[in-house]
Amino acid sequence: MRVIVTAGHVDHGKSTLVRRLTGMEPDRWAEERRRGLTIDLGFAWTRIGDEDIAFVDVPGHERFVPNMLAGAGPAPAVLFVVAADEGWMPQSAEHLAALDAFGVRRGLLVVTKADRADPAAATASALAEIAKTSLGTVPVVAVSGTTGAGLGGLRTAIGELTAGLPVPDPDADVRLWIDRAFTVSGAGTVVTGTLAAGTIAVGDELRLGPSRVKVRGLQSLGEPRERAGAVARVAVNLRGTARGDVRRGDVLLTPGRWRTTAEFDVRLRGAAAADLHRELVLHLGTAAVPVRVRPLGTDTARLVTAAALPLRVGDRGLVRDPGEHRIAAGFDVLDVDPPALSRRGAARARGRELAGPDLARTYLHRTGFVRAADFTAMGLPETGERLGEWCADPGRFAALRAQAAEIVGAWDSTAAGVPVEALRQRLGLPAPELVVPVLRGTGFEVAGGLVRRPGAGLAPAVEKAVEVVVERLAEHPFRAPEADELRALGLGRRELAAAVRLGRLTAVAEGVVLGPDADERAVAQLRLLPQPFTVSEARRALDSTRRVMIPLLERLDAAGRTEPLGDGTRRTPG
């Protein structure tokens, strides 16, 4: 299927043309048919050659430009309609400016009402205006909606237009901008939109705002489908979604694959950033939200919207001045995760940065580490040094490696090593799995949750103190040293943690340590008791105290070595 949007001034025959081509009525509302005026988006379809063609018919009156923009935003191609008897008109210009701002590159000029006037003058003026925009040079067909003259040639031209459209990617991430939402009795909430890329299937889970929703049913061109691939007009029945929770401008997304933001940097087209100081509305896809423009450079700006939008680098949209009924500027998204502009001169510096040639490398340099999936979510090509699921900036990576060696080298003189999480935090690494790659080539390793030199043990003073504790526990394995005894030996929390990580001691509670084989020795003794047994019986059998026995038994419970029976007794399984 291919999807084409109409555009053009009011009463130039867009809806009549769609009726003639499809045999369907695009005006859905009784008010539209009564007044003979398209107010909202209309939808119809036909088959031309071997291709299904769906039309999104938009209103031409200036009062309904927001509705027109909702139809044009997701459109890959346009039928631009100009009447032979009226020629180029104000809404012709605004619709063309919108298409140019959205970056629509493929279209067809249709000069209607060719039975009322010679189409030559209207054709020449329209082609001259269109040639200045992203559409460039377009084919032209003259038709009469009243007599049907020229419709055969128009169908041929539409077939040629759609044959030249890019082939959509059926495996792309879904971003379905919703243009209608309504309720069907017995089915619930249904939304419609133009699926520009990807595939939707019954049973799929998608994201709608902060919620996950499930596809209960699917239609395309009025027929039920199990799946629909781009490009397509689709109607999606959503399970468990109230009609009041969804409206035009919302969007269905592949979960976890899109960056949603209300603040992003753009390059402007058609206006200088400093001129955009009025109250403006941003249009992208079918969304229309108030926006504040903060200039960064002559043609770059930070846009701050009233609602977060799912964006990728390269997306195109526009800002409109509703007070003056004009398209203020188009824009191309450059960065969907921009830095804060808190310091003096930051905006100008950011503008210079955005002028650079490699936005992906600039972003990676600023952040240091980026998940490869996040590059995709932001619409950027992957760059940098690949480390598992992460990409690293080579310069930042080398600096962190040197810093890690300094931190571990200093720490290693007083304890067995640096806890992995402590090193991660000191280095500012975004994930623990990056610690090992950072340490490569430094001579340090990760062992037992510590970063240390290979074969390194405890510091000599700590080793001597631990030996004293181990000797005492050899005589009475379950009589843990008291806190003051440990302090007298110089064994604080950090030293004890190092000994535990190296397997020299077993920690059963904060400040309560036993020998390295405490668990096995305890279970062996407890199995000799009559089953089940109480805490007091276990304490006497192990020659211990409640301070030790209660946390020890809880530790054995958690490991499945003992089993609490709910009445204060336990047994040893097996």
Q: What is the pLDDT, as a whole number, of residue 457? A: 67
pLDDT per residue as tens digits for the range 483-538:
999 999 988 888 888 788 777 899 999 989 999 889 999 999 999 999 999 999 99
Q: Which residue has the higher pLDDT, 357 or 307?
A: 307
Tell me: pLDDT of 31 over 70: no
Q: What is the pLDDT, as a whole number, of residue 58? A: 81
Right CATH number for 259-355 from 2.60.120.10, 2.40.30.10, 3.40.50.720, 3.40.50.150?
Answer: 2.40.30.10
CATH superfamily to which 175-253 belongs: Translation factors (2.40.30.10)
pLDDT per residue as tens digits for the range 256-283:
999 899 999 999 998 899 898 778 999 9
Confidence of residue 65 (pLDDT cuts 50, 70, 90): confident
Confidence of residue 412 (pLDDT cuts 50, 70, 90): low
pLDDT per residue as tens digits for the range 116-134:
999 999 999 999 999 999 9
Cα 473–chain centre separation: 56
Strand partners, 499: none
- Helices then strands, counting H and E runs in the chain, come out as 18, 31
Q: What kind of fold does domain 462-571 have according to CATH?
A: Arc Repressor Mutant, subunit A (1.10.10)
Phi, psi of 412 (to 5 degrees): -65, -20
In this prediction, residues 358-382 reach a mean pLDDT of 91
Confidence of residue 355 (pLDDT cuts 50, 70, 90): confident
Task: Report CA Rg, the chain.
Answer: 35
Tell me: pLDDT of 455 over 70: no
- Tell me which range, 12-16, 420-424, 557-561, is most confidently predicted by mean pLDDT: 557-561
Q: For residue 520, what are its two tokens? A: 């096995």
Separation of alpha carbons 566 and 563, rounded Å: 9
Q: What is the pLDDT, as a whole number, of residue 394? A: 93
Q: What is the pLDDT, as a whole number, of residue 448? A: 62
Separation of alpha carbons 251 and 176, rounded Å: 5
In this prediction, residues 558-565 reach a mean pLDDT of 92
Q: What is the pLDDT, as a whole number, of residue 312? A: 94
In this prediction, residues 47-52 reach a mean pLDDT of 89
Tell me: pLDDT of 158 over 90: yes
Q: Are strands 205-208 and 251-253 parallel, antiparallel or unpaired?
A: antiparallel
pLDDT per residue as tens digits for the range 213-240:
999 999 998 899 999 998 889 999 999 8
- Can you give the residue ranges of every domain in the chain? 2-163, 175-253, 259-355, 356-457, 462-571
Tell me: pLDDT of 28 over 70: no
In this prediction, residues 415-428 reach a mean pLDDT of 82
Q: What is the pLDDT, as a whole number, of residue 16? A: 87
Separation of alpha carbons 74 and 467, rounded Å: 73
The reply to whether omega before 338 is within 30° of 0 (cis) is no
Residue 226's identity, in one-letter code, is: E
Tell me: pLDDT of 255 over 60: yes
Place of tokens 């699917």: 218
Strand partners, 369: 392
- What percent of the chain has pLDDT above 90? 55
In this prediction, residues 85-100 reach a mean pLDDT of 90
In this prediction, residues 61-86 reach a mean pLDDT of 82
Tell me: pLDDT of 32 over 70: no
Separation of alpha carbons 241 and 448, rounded Å: 49
In this prediction, residues 345-361 reach a mean pLDDT of 87
3-state secondary structure 32-66: HHHHCCCCCCEEEEEEECCEEEEEEECCCCHHHHH
Could you check whether 175-253 and 259-355 share the same CATH topology?
A: yes
pLDDT per residue as tens digits for the range 172-210:
999 999 988 888 887 889 999 999 899 999 999 999 998
Structural contact between residues 378 and 398, judged by C-beta atoms closer than 8 angstroms: no
Confidence of residue 304 (pLDDT cuts 50, 70, 90): very high
Residue 159's identity, in one-letter code, is: G
Average pLDDT value over all residues in the chain:
88
Q: What are the DSSP calls for 379-442, one per residue?
A: T----SEEETTEEE-HHHHHHHHHHHHHHHHHHTTTSS-EEHHHHHHHHT-SSGGGHHHHHTTT
Structural contact between residues 38 and 60, judged by C-beta atoms closer than 8 angstroms: yes
Q: What is the pLDDT, as a whole number, of residue 56? A: 87
Tell me: pLDDT of 357 over 90: no
Q: What is the pLDDT, as a whole number, of residue 429? A: 92
Q: What is the pLDDT, as a whole number, of residue 64? A: 65
Q: What is the pLDDT, as a whole number, of residue 204? A: 95
Exposure string over 45-54, b if 16+ CB within 10 A, otherwise e: bbebeeebbb
Confidence of residue 456 (pLDDT cuts 50, 70, 90): low
Q: For residue 381, what are its two tokens? A: 């090509």
Separation of alpha carbons 284 and 357, rounded Å: 25
Tell me: pLDDT of 36 over 70: no
Tell me: pLDDT of 30 over 80: no
Provide the angle, in degrees to the nearest 10, between the axes of the packed helices 120-130 and 90-102.
30
Q: Architecture of domain 2-163 in CATH?
A: 3-Layer(aba) Sandwich (3.40)
Q: What is the pLDDT, as a whole number, of residue 446? A: 76
> What is the CB neighbour count within 10 angstroms for residue 25?
14
Q: Are strands 175-184 and 188-195 parallel, antiparallel or unpaired?
A: antiparallel
Phi, psi of 427 (to 5 degrees): -85, -15
Cα separations (Å) of 203 from 80, 197, 216, 247? 38, 18, 6, 22
Cα separations (Å) of 385 from 403, 404, 421, 435? 18, 18, 23, 15
- Specify burial of residue 82 (Cβ count, 10 A radius: 0-12, 13-18, 19+): buried
